[in-house]
Structure 1
Amino acid sequence: MSLDIKRSSINKTKKKTGFIVKMQLNNNNNRGGNNKTNLFFIFFRNYYRWVIWLFLSLYFFTSYFAGDQSSPSTTTTTTTSLLSNHQTSSSLPSRALIESSAILKPGGPFSGMKIYVYDLPARFNVDWVTASDRCASHLFAAEVAIHRALLSDSSVRTSDPEEADFFFVPVYVSCNFSTANGFPSLSHARSLISSAVDFLSDRYPFWNRTRGSDHVFVASHDFGACFHAMEDMAIEEGIPEFMKNSIILQTFGVNYKHPCQEAEHVVIPPYIPPESVQRAIDRAPANGRRDIWAFFRGKMEVNPKNISGRFYSKGVRTAILKKYGGRRRFYLNRHRFAGYRSEIVRSVFCLCPLGWAPWSPRLVESAVLGCVSVVIADGIKLPFSETVRWSEISLTVAEKDVKNLRKILERVAATNLSVIQRNLREPAFKRALLYNVPMMEGDATWHILEALRRKLDRSYRRSSVLSQ
């Protein structure tokens, strides 16, 4: 029915239009020279609605495209304004959503991460450094260096614990790590850290609310958070129960299941004083010549000492000494020498066999002084292995293959030695393995913060925002 009505209407319109045009034409014939004017008038009179509609369409069409081009900047300005005000404007109804977006979209190198450094009584840290200068400079001194670097970094450190993602617990357990005869002893470590945790639990709410899962400790000695220098004893005692929920920054790391890494952890480099590295570089031969082919200086037993069934270095260092001691191309020395880094800077290959633990300070010393580290420690996990490409700056030799060490090194020297040496000259590698105070972009503390950034799911503050 509606179709018939529309058709009828259309027909009537056509008839009416035809009549008007006809009448106007007749009048035009009578008027002579006004034909063009009258035709325009007739056209406009009958089609003015279409003309207006055409102009309106063109207007809206061009306005749409003009607005579309400017919309990104408008959106960006609005979003930036909201994000910059979300901390001070608690009345915003979408505050939780805005903060969540800021978390998912990093706003800086560490996603706005904040660390609160506990101000513990001096008996937990400062007193140890005061009692011994060696405390801040030996291979276990990462615990001191990290603490100092965090205190000096205003971009990450916060003085307000309520806005902290992580809490750093500065307890120095390695300053007095050895007895009078030099034998490693960490018997005081557990009680010292336990006392610090009791102190925090009594005076702050932050440890208790997460059972320490957002708290960070440093364990920069042999078997890390197990706090023992002998592996079998370390395994037997394990990580203290009160630390198992926390994050441990430790020099110990292996690529297999081990009780001493059964806590959230980051494998960090041992401490090498940056100034000692620079002194060795300054004393290097002016022509850059490396006249020592394979180098090692350190403890090597002619006959391994059997301490309750434990052989030092699993006998690896003894095997190296017996096989290559006195060989022309191997510079092996069992005696201490304070300036041994001046020998590293002259060496092509630097042997890094395990000691009591798999890791060794030679890993860092060799790399930063341009010597190719020859890692001989089965299953070792190297520091910052997620970001430092160790395979490009070092060699790995299985403990059982030390008898073939000369052939292995000769093969490397004949193939890709120049590539490895070129990689070692990249400043980024050296920077990543050294601690600086204040912290430098890309240095060891910087990489620790980057590793913590990947663990922001442990942040109580952020999880609370997301749950709102």
Structure 2
Amino acid sequence: MAEHHRPPKNRGFYLKMKLLPKHTRPPPEKSCFFRYYKWLLWLSLSLYFFSSCFISNNNPPSNSDSSHKSQSTLLQSTNITALNPSGVLNDLKIFVYDLPPKYNSDWLSNKRCSNHLFASEVAIHRALLTSEVRTFDPYDADFFFVPVYVSCNFSTVNGFPAIGHARSLISSAIQLISSQYPFWNRTHGSDHVFVASHDFGACFHTLEDVAIADGIPEFLKRSIILQTFGVEYKHPCQDVDNVVIPPYVSPQSLRNTLEKEPVNRRRDIWVFFRGKMELHPKNVSGRYYSKQVRTEIWRKFNSDRRFYLQRQRYEGYQSEIARSVFCLCPLGWAPWSPRLVESVALGCVPVIISDGIRLPFPRAVGWEEISVRVAEKDVGKLGRILEEVAATNLSQIQRKLGEGRRRRALLFNDEVEEGDATWQVLEALSQKLHKSYKRVKHQWSVDT
């Protein structure tokens, strides 16, 4: 493998000036007046240069100079720290494995693979390929990204992702990289990163009881998992080093919606929800969907004119979100929902009804400032709770909800942008450098 060379540091430059020429022979004897005149001239020149320097450093530059300087500084900041302001990412380096297409790109023949709610596995991979943190030298890497798309196998029966093949597909990828590279074996995969963007993350099943019974595969328990599933209590499906990420919502679809329904328009829907609401929540498997929360919402508020509730699918439902004041985000089979992202992005206050949910990137988004949390047991009191919010701090919530940085933190772009969802992932990984073999080895060599 070719040795990785880093460019030498810029040492700057200096200018050596000779104010007086050297003489090859002794000068003739000067008069007393000439000697004093020489020193007076020397002193005058010194004072002149000193005062010029002092004045130029203290007087503000002209408008044209100032404009030129600020543009130069901005360009430098953009080029050097666009992805890493103030060194937040700690010079993070990630090596992306180039796996055979059967693990990733072959699945893209179905366009849904890169656009459905589980597509963060595709989006993160794409963004890393052109990211400034990517390194082509694996010996220079802090982390190793393993791009396996496990949510792109859509069932022909119901059209939903079928992830029964996920464990065997990831296991096969690990066998491949561990046989061709030394990096998995030296840490047992602790510095390797995977995406598990479906219902119960690294447990790889859509039903919680089955997911818990299966648990996390042994071969992934040392790795870092980027997963949409997260709760604030102990749960077998998050018993691994993990980063909670948002579900995928297409930025382009949101832009299209905002072109037709700008967020500053009048919102004529007070409370909105469109989605699966079972009249009889216990399905054929004997399980209760949404812990009966959605059924209770339908039963209690279907006839309430303040609530716009729809059980049918509608492709243009984002336009309804953009027209709404409050958007209900109840749990489904899993605690999380793409409505969390869509509501924030379209300026609708998310009403989160999912006990103990752990939300993505809390420091960047500030969920407590832009959302309303309602306990599952209090879902029957929704009308009264939201009336109280509307009468007290709704305008403050909406103002903070309109801050672009919060929206940006939940969206995955084709290329990493400062503050976006992939950038938040990188920031989270930069807090886990204790798992970087390169850093630990370097620290060990320094200490010894």
TM-score range, shorter-chain basis? 0.7 to 0.9
Structure 1 position 288 matched with structure 2 position 302: no
Q: Which amino acid aligns with 1:409?
A: L
Task: Find the aligned partners of 2:305 and 2:371 in 1 and give their Cα distance.
Answer: 23
Q: Which amino acid aligns with 1:137?
A: N
Report how far residue 287 of structure 1 moved.
6.3
Number of aligned positions between the proteins: 361
Aligned to 2:362, what secondary structure does the other structure show? coil
Equivalent pair of 1:179/1:185 in contact (CA under 8 Å): no
Equivalent pair of 2:263/2:322 in contact (CA under 8 Å): no
Q: What's 2:315 paired with? A: 338
Report how far residue 327 of structure 1 moved.
1.2
1:125 corresponds to which of 92, 95, 104: 104
Q: Which amino acid aligns with 2:107?
A: W
Task: Find the aligned partners of 2:312 and 2:199 in 1 and give their Cα distance.
Answer: 21
- CA deviations on 1:299-318 (whole Å, 9 max, x unpaired) are 11111133433111111100
Q: What's 2:290 paired with? A: 313
Q: What's 2:224 paired with? A: 247
Task: Find the aligned partners of 2:205 and 2:263 in 1 and give their Cα distance.
Answer: 43
Aligned to 2:176, what secondary structure does the other structure show? helix
Equivalent pair of 2:192/2:223 in contact (CA under 8 Å): yes
Task: Find the aligned partners of 2:227 and 2:336 in 1 and give their Cα distance.
Answer: 11
Aligned to 1:306, what secondary structure does the other structure show? coil
1:257 corresponds to which of 225, 234, 239: 234
Task: Find the aligned partners of 1:361 and 1:301 in 2 and give their Cα distance.
Answer: 19
> Which structure is higher in helix share?
1
2:126 corresponds to which of 124, 139, 148: 148
Equivalent pair of 2:364/2:409 in contact (CA under 8 Å): no
Q: What's 2:55 paired with? A: none
Q: What's 1:36 paired with? A: none
Task: Find the aligned partners of 1:179 and 1:319 in 2 and give their Cα distance.
Answer: 31
- Larger Rg belongs to: 1
Task: Find the aligned partners of 1:230 and 1:446 in 2 and give their Cα distance.
Answer: 30
1:411 corresponds to which of 384, 388, 393: 388
Identical pairs, percent:
66
Task: Find the aligned partners of 2:120 and 2:286 in 1 and give their Cα distance.
Answer: 31
Aligned to 1:450, what secondary structure does the other structure show? helix
Task: Find the aligned partners of 1:177 and 1:225 in 2 and give their Cα distance.
Answer: 19
- CA deviations on 1:332-381 (whole Å, 9 max, x unpaired) are 00000000000000000000000010000000000010000000001100
Aligned to 1:172, what secondary structure does the other structure show? coil
Task: Find the aligned partners of 2:251 and 2:145 in 1 and give their Cα distance.
Answer: 23
Aligned to 1:301, what secondary structure does the other structure show? coil
Q: Which amino acid aligns with 1:319?
A: E
Q: Which amino acid aligns with 1:372?
A: V
Aligned to 2:195, what secondary structure does the other structure show? strand
The unaligned stretches of length 5 or more in structure 2 are 1-84
2:93 corresponds to which of 106, 109, 114: 114
Structure 1 position 353 matched with structure 2 position 323: no
Report how far residue 178 of structure 1 moved.
3.4
1:389 corresponds to which of 366, 387, 393: 366
Equivalent pair of 1:393/1:420 in contact (CA under 8 Å): yes
Structure 1 position 435 matched with structure 2 position 412: yes
Task: Find the aligned partners of 2:417 and 2:267 in 1 and give their Cα distance.
Answer: 30
Q: What's 2:178 paired with? A: 201
Report how far residue 191 of structure 1 moved.
0.4
- CA deviations on 1:20-46 (whole Å, 9 max, x unpaired) are xxxxxxxxxxxxxxxxxxxxxxxxxxx
Report how far residue 414 of structure 1 moved.
0.2
Q: What's 2:301 paired with? A: 324
Task: Find the aligned partners of 1:136 and 1:423 in 2 and give their Cα distance.
Answer: 30
- CA deviations on 1:389-415 (whole Å, 9 max, x unpaired) are 100011110000011000000000000
Q: Which amino acid aligns with 1:400?
A: K
Report how far residue 180 of structure 1 moved.
2.1
Aligned to 2:171, what secondary structure does the other structure show? helix
1:297 corresponds to which of 274, 277, 302: 274
Report how far residue 184 of structure 1 moved.
5.2
Equivalent pair of 2:302/2:309 in contact (CA under 8 Å): yes
Equivalent pair of 2:364/2:406 in contact (CA under 8 Å): no
Task: Find the aligned partners of 1:430 and 1:166 in 2 and give their Cα distance.
Answer: 27
Report how far residue 271 of structure 1 moved.
0.4
Task: Find the aligned partners of 1:293 and 1:227 in 2 and give their Cα distance.
Answer: 37
The 3 A distance-change label for structure 1 pair 116 and 336 is same
2:436 corresponds to which of 459, 463, 466: 459
Equivalent pair of 1:184/1:229 in contact (CA under 8 Å): no
Task: Find the aligned partners of 1:463 and 1:380 in 2 and give their Cα distance.
Answer: 33
Aligned to 2:172, what secondary structure does the other structure show? helix
Aligned to 1:181, what secondary structure does the other structure show? coil
The unaligned stretches of length 5 or more in structure 1 are 1-105
Task: Find the aligned partners of 1:392 and 1:178 in 2 and give their Cα distance.
Answer: 39
Equivalent pair of 1:178/1:186 in contact (CA under 8 Å): no
Equivalent pair of 2:272/2:326 in contact (CA under 8 Å): yes
Aligned to 2:87, what secondary structure does the other structure show? coil
2:115 corresponds to which of 121, 137, 141: 137
Task: Find the aligned partners of 2:264 and 2:438 in 1 and give their Cα distance.
Answer: 55
Structure 1 position 274 matched with structure 2 position 251: yes
Aligned to 1:295, what secondary structure does the other structure show? strand
- CA deviations on 1:123-168 (whole Å, 9 max, x unpaired) are 00000012x0000000000000000000011x20000000000000
The 3 A distance-change label for structure 1 pair 286 and 316 is closer
Q: Which amino acid aligns with 1:368?
A: A
Equivalent pair of 1:249/1:268 in contact (CA under 8 Å): yes
Q: Which amino acid aligns with 1:127?
A: D
Q: Which amino acid aligns with 1:209?
A: R
Report how far residue 465 of structure 1 moved.
0.5
- Judge which range, 222-231 or 108-117, deviates more: 108-117
- CA deviations on 1:68-115 (whole Å, 9 max, x unpaired) are xxxxxxxxxxxxxxxxxxxxxxxxxxxxxxxxxxxxxx9723111100
Equivalent pair of 2:364/2:405 in contact (CA under 8 Å): no
Task: Find the aligned partners of 1:386 and 1:225 in 2 and give their Cα distance.
Answer: 24
Q: Which amino acid aligns with 2:381?
A: N
Report how far residue 438 of structure 1 moved.
1.0
Task: Find the aligned partners of 2:186 and 2:406 in 1 and give their Cα distance.
Answer: 39
Q: TM-score under structure 2 normalisation?
A: 0.79
Report how far residue 179 of structure 1 moved.
4.3
Equivalent pair of 2:365/2:407 in contact (CA under 8 Å): no
Q: CA RMSD in A?
A: 1.3
Report how far residue 249 of structure 1 moved.
0.2
Give every structure 1 segment of 4 or more consecutive aligned residues whose post-TM-superposition deviation is greater than 4 Å.
none
Structure 1 position 218 matched with structure 2 position 195: yes
